[in-house]
Amino acid sequence: MAMSGGVDSSVAAALLKKQGYEVIGITMCFGLKGIEDARRVAHKLDIKHYTLNMQRVLNQRVIKNFCREYQLGKTPNPCVRCNQYVKFGALLKKARSLGAKYLATGHYARIKKASSYLLRKARDLKKDQSYFLYRLGQHQLKHILFPLGNYTKEEVRSKASEFSLAVADKLASQEICFLRDTDYRDFLKNQGIKIKSGLVLDKEGNILGRHKGIAFYTIGQREGLGIAKGYPLYVTKIEPRTNRIFVGTKKDALKSEFLVKEAHFIPKIIKKKVALKVKIRYNHKEMPADVLFENKKIKVCFKKPQFAITPGQSAVFYDKDVVVGGGVIERVLD
């Protein structure tokens, strides 16, 4: 059981213990707060608890990519890569090497065994985390448990009190674990990322001002532009080759089509045009789109234009509540 010291993983551990599993708690210690909380919960549940240093794989697989993508004017999602390479990559291998049949986490998602393993949304759609898990494969899903998939957050809080867990009232962490309350811009500077100022232009090519470095901006961003135009301006395009940022109205930030790289499919590979719903960031409501192979690339065409389709973010494909797959947004098509 991957235990962060938070209420979700703590309740998940308690539920598994109650169901009769032999539970071993593991906390990945790469500067995470909560190791002591996880230890206290493990003691309360009378289960073994270990800490595991995962800093090297986190640096190699997540942090390096995080910095490189921002340098290229993209907006990465480190949680997707962390799930793929750290939690359900290195940690799952470690769990299996210890003789564990499953790795369990406190994610809000569900796994269903049909002709193949399916990844489904959680019952609590407000907390559903299937978006971050779309890169899981059949060999991983076979050995993963999500004990909270059929619970709401309110029910989990209630269970924490029922189990008399000290973390019952602990607030959920919203931060990226390796940032540790640090603004990502300061983190990039501390990582030695070179930041270079450049021009801000409108869609006609008129110079409106200067930006502080493309790594500090994302598509759809409105705040921090420092340009007075009499109406709201949004970042509509970031051009790393020329170190330029383009801004426009909210309407200018609406796009319909984009290409996906690093495509991954869970049940089976899509090789023809398919009508699905697509989510382009975690807090985006998935919308109808056509997903198709075109010139060896995956192309997504929304039925209606969407705001701020952002290179570097993940586009996740859904068929009702089943995650079909997804990929990284490579390029938005005009």
- Could you give the residue numbers annotated as active site? 82, 177
Question: Which residue(s) pair with 288 in the sheet?
Answer: 277
Residue 296 region by backbone torsions, left for phi larger than 0, else alpha for psi between -120 and 50, else beta = left
Q: What are phi and psi of 333, to 5 degrees?
A: -95, 135
Alpha helices in the chain (DSSP H): 7-18, 35-45, 55-58, 64-71, 78-81, 92-97, 138-141, 153-162, 184-190
109-140 burial, b if ≥16 CB within 10 A, otherwise e?
bbbeeeeebbbbbbbbeebbbbbbbbbbeeeb
32-67 burial, b if ≥16 CB within 10 A, otherwise e?
bebbebbbbbbebbebebeeeebeebbeebbbeebb
Residue bearing tokens 């200067």: 210
Asked if residues 97 and 1 have their Cβ atoms less than 8 Å apart, the reply is no
Q: Which DSSP string do the residues of 121-180 spell out, in sequence order?
A: E-SSTTT--GGGGTT--HHHHTTEE-TTTT--HHHHHHHHHHTT-TTTTPPPP-S-GGGT
